Amino acid sequence: MAAPIALTIAGSDPSGGAGIAADLKTFAALGVYGAAVLTALTAQNTAGVFAVHNVPADFIAAQIDAVFADLKVGAVKIGMLGNGEAAAAVAASLDRHRPRNVVLDPVMVASTGADLLGADAMDALRLVISRAGVVTPNLLEAAALLGAPLARDEADMQAQAQKLLALGPGAVLIKGGHGGGTESVDLLVEADGTARFAAPRVATKNTHGTGCTLASAVAAGLAKGLSLNAAVREAKAYVTAAIAAADRLAVGTGGGPVHHFYDRW
């Protein structure tokens, strides 16, 4: 039986905690073969992002075309796009290849505060949003996409997710990791209803790459044939456990990565 395949289209993190490194680790941990298309090279570590080198849009498209020409891709996870040209190239590639499962993590700002998306890219990012099966913004990204204040509670999260749904994706998974309270609550909002996913909030500074990891875990579930609801439920449980085990890694001097292989090492 052939292994399920997921493709990540995202930027690099040479320190291994976020971007394609986190995506490929997540795919492997969840039993999915991972392929990767680079959109940008970053010079970063657990303390910050120091430089970004964007990959030319035509080369991003060539990488995507090469993967789809040879591999049976079950799901696509999209992360950092870098600029408008890259976002437009990815949108056009989605139109060419029509993957059945597309998970978009609208990466705009790194967890350390560095901008990872050019100011000119918002219109092109909306092209990608409209082609996604599910978009996974955190509270900061949802507010930025809508030009709105940060959601204060679940009612605000629901309202913002509904507005993002109007941009054309199949579903919106709005994540409450940046919120307060004892629980971290995510809402999966679709045209026909909302599902709530809650987990105890873990007290740790080591949360580098959580957004990448969650979106990749959702894509892994979809590649394995799970429904979106089941994929999100599995992804939430996986990320929560990876965060809870993050302090065992002790990687870096800043906000370290989650432990992708917490149940294997």
Which residues are catalytic, by number? 175, 207, 209-212
Burial degree of 77 (CB within 10 A; 0-12, 13-18, 19+) = buried
Map the chain to HEC letters: CCCCEEEEEEECCCCCCCHHHHHHHHHHHCCCEEEEEEEEEEEEECCEEEEEEECCHHHHHHHHHHHHHHCCCCEEEECCCECHHHHHHHHHHHHHHCCCCEEECCCCECCCCCECECHHHHHHHHHHHCCCCEECCEHHHHHHHHCCCCCCCHHHHHHHHHHHHCCCCCEEEEECCCCCCCEEEEEEEECCEEEEEEEECCCCCCCECHHHHHHHHHHHHHHCCCCHHHHHHHHHHHHHHHHHCHHHCCCCCCCCECCCCCCCC
Between CA 92 and CA 246 the distance in angstroms is: 37
Other C-beta atoms within 10 Å of 85: how many? Answer: 19
Sorted by sequence, the CB contacts under 8 Å of residue 110 that are 6+ apart come out as 18, 44, 48, 49, 116
